[in-house]
A and B are shown apart, each in its own frame.
Chain A
């Protein structure tokens, strides 16, 4: 199932953030939205997940308008992890991951064998099986983020959207979370769309980058093809020298304001 937007205009009240956005998220790929603060990348992501209503235009999941389908049906095809979500800190890992099964459950069917198997799978994938009974307050930032990712996995969707999943994480946990997402993409073919601040990590993990500037899509495509010094300068308003990453062979930006400090 594909997500695509047509003539999407987004904003808050009279304030227009994005205008006439037409993008198609490639299936089974990792797509990363980049842009400077306040450019509307999170707004776009949230709208693709039906959390925000557009001023005009459409978001289509498959060939259906996302706002016209029952929300529970969409929740079986698309999961969203918002930025630094909050939950009562005395919930256990298991308690929270289990919530991912909500769209499949009813009052009569609160814990089917399928629910159990998939939650087990989600806990195992995210390396949380052994600490399932720990409370959220006892977890590190990286573990907590894995719990939320496990919850979206329990939702068993083809598409996963994430709004800055590495926000506030140490570099070690950043890599841990991104590696997990890459793994899910490569081994299970999940379509992953995320907003990421770090342009170098975006280049390393993305198959497809959408760069947003001044309410429009500045450019989109594979990082190797589209990331140029001009793009960095235009989109982020900073100078950059681009070299090839010695490890991953992806573009790496060395950014600077002024060469003589």
Chain B
């Protein structure tokens, strides 16, 4: 029993695995370190001590300007995009009881792209190649695209309830359809927006500012808290449906609510960061390797690990081939894909259900 932390007071009671708590603290520290590293790296190297001084002393000057107006908002956006995608993937994998599920596999990301491209198509002025409205409305369209996709997937998969298998199959179909629409829009659209569209589809946090942070933070925070409340439900969803019903869970209702929660998180991330791939798939996997499949561990860890992945990838994206500022999506996929294969090879022994 000593491997558990148990807290009880009156009618309140909680339980957590000691080892998982330790791992959570360590990864959180790594995450904080990555954020500081991201603030310090760039065209001009600013030492981490100087970064801390600037952040906490509120000193002004050149370095402060770089950090406060460029690097800090971009890093925070990368962080929130990563945490959202990590959480979204973890929820989805629990709901469909399949560790290969991810926001991009069931069409959330591709449909977000459709939304973004619809925006570019509607509001690009072919005469002067400029936008006729503010680029800040693009996330709204991306969000709507992603969210509508989830509703379509759910409705099409519904047949006296929704089975995880149908959800995945319909999700893949919707993702395929969304990709086709994306291609049509790119081919028929004005030449000027091809680059913009391609960047967005790959996923980038280039040029994000405090407005993005202010949009994302409350959205993420609320959903994060709701997700933690749903931890118990996810643990039940991860068992066979028969067992879940037998335990008294209203399986169908909770499945729908969790799908929406996952979609809301991914849509928020896609709206700001575009089609950043692999984070939603890989973050929960890493967390399972570090602890186990219990969602009390997987959920908070996936958020933190997702954040670390995107923040580190963004550092690589803007420094490795400097002065080129590459889309971060290249690195999450470029690092993520091989790592994923490595994980699969390493864990083949325990592959009964793919974990």
Instruction: Check A89 against B355 for contact (C-beta < 8 Å).
Output: yes
Instruction: Check A111 against B6 for contact (C-beta < 8 Å).
Output: yes
When distances are taken between beta carbons in the complex, the residues of chain B under 8 Å from A100 are: 247
Instruction: Check A87 against B239 for contact (C-beta < 8 Å).
Output: yes
Q: A91-B294, A133-B3 are known contacts. Are A80 and B8 too (CB-CB below 8 A)?
A: no
Q: A71-B248, A100-B247, A111-B13 are known contacts. Are A90 and B288 too (CB-CB below 8 A)?
A: yes
- CB-nearest residue of chain B relative to A105? B232
Of residues 140 to 171 in A, which have CB atoms within 8 Å of B's CB atoms? Answer: 151-152, 155
* Contact residue among A86, A91, A112 (Cβ-Cβ distance under 8 Å from B13): A112
Q: How large is the interface on B (under 10, 10 to 19, 20 to 34, 35 or more residues)?
A: 20 to 34
Q: Is the CB of B47 closer than 8 A to any CB of chain A?
A: no
Q: A91-B293, A91-B294, A116-B6 are known contacts. Are A49 and B246 too (CB-CB below 8 A)?
A: yes
Instruction: Check B246 against A88 for contact (C-beta < 8 Å).
Output: no
Q: A89-B352, A89-B353, A137-B350 are known contacts. Are A103 and B240 too (CB-CB below 8 A)?
A: no
Q: Is the CB of A82 closer than 8 A to any CB of chain B?
A: yes
B159 to chain A, nearest CB (A): 11
Instruction: Check B248 against A51 for contact (C-beta < 8 Å).
Output: no
Q: Is the CB of B245 closer than 8 A to any CB of chain A?
A: yes
- CB-nearest residue of chain B relative to A161? B246
- CB-nearest residue of chain B relative to A120? B1
Q: Is the CB of B249 closer than 8 A to any CB of chain A?
A: yes
Contact digits for B279-298, partner A, Cβ 8 Å, 1 yes 0 no: 00000000010001110000
B226 to chain A, nearest CB (A): 11
- CB-nearest residue of chain B relative to A80? B246
Q: Is the CB of B342 closer than 8 A to any CB of chain A?
A: no
- CB-nearest residue of chain B relative to A95? B294
How far, in whole Å, are A74 and B250 apart by their CA atoms in the complex?
12
How far, in whole Å, are A110 and B292 apart by their CA atoms in the complex?
19
How far, in whole Å, are A80 and B242 apart by their CA atoms in the complex?
8
Q: A79-B246, A111-B13, A111-B14 are known contacts. Are A90 and B232 too (CB-CB below 8 A)?
A: no
How far, in whole Å, are A257 and B307 apart by their CA atoms in the complex?
66
Contact digits for B8-28, partner A, Cβ 8 Å, 1 yes 0 no: 100111110000000000000
Contact digits for A101-130, partner B, Cβ 8 Å, 1 yes 0 no: 011010111111101100000000000000
Of residues 254 to 295 in B, which have CB atoms within 8 Å of A's CB atoms? Answer: 288, 292-294
When distances are taken between beta carbons in the complex, the residues of chain B under 8 Å from A80 are: 242-243, 246
How far, in whole Å, are A155 and B12 apart by their CA atoms in the complex?
20
Of residues 48 to 100 in A, which have CB atoms within 8 Å of B's CB atoms? Answer: 49-51, 70-76, 79-82, 85-92, 95, 99-100
Contact digits for B288-332, partner A, Cβ 8 Å, 1 yes 0 no: 100011100000000000000000000000000000000000000
How far, in whole Å, are A152 and B15 apart by their CA atoms in the complex?
20
When distances are taken between beta carbons in the complex, the residues of chain A under 8 Å from B240 are: 82, 85-87
When distances are taken between beta carbons in the complex, the residues of chain A under 8 Å from B14 are: 110-111
Instruction: Check A71 against B249 for contact (C-beta < 8 Å).
Output: yes
B234 to chain A, nearest CB (A): 11
A163 to chain B, nearest CB (A): 8
Q: Is the CB of A19 closer than 8 A to any CB of chain B?
A: no
Contact digits for A3-25, partner B, Cβ 8 Å, 1 yes 0 no: 00000000000000000000000
Instruction: Check B238 against A88 for contact (C-beta < 8 Å).
Output: yes
When distances are taken between beta carbons in the complex, the residues of chain B under 8 Å from A75 are: 246-248
When distances are taken between beta carbons in the complex, the residues of chain A under 8 Å from B236 are: 99, 102
29 A-B pairs within 8 Å (CB atoms) are namely: A49-B246, A51-B245, A71-B250, A72-B248, A74-B248, A75-B246, A76-B248, A80-B246, A81-B243, A81-B246, A82-B240, A82-B242, A85-B242, A86-B240, A87-B239, A88-B292, A89-B350, A89-B353, A90-B288, A90-B293, A91-B292, A92-B292, A99-B236, A99-B247, A102-B247, A102-B249, A107-B229, A109-B12, A111-B15
Nearest 8 CB-CB pairings of A with B: A75-B248, A88-B293, A111-B15, A82-B242, A72-B248, A80-B246, A103-B248, A85-B240
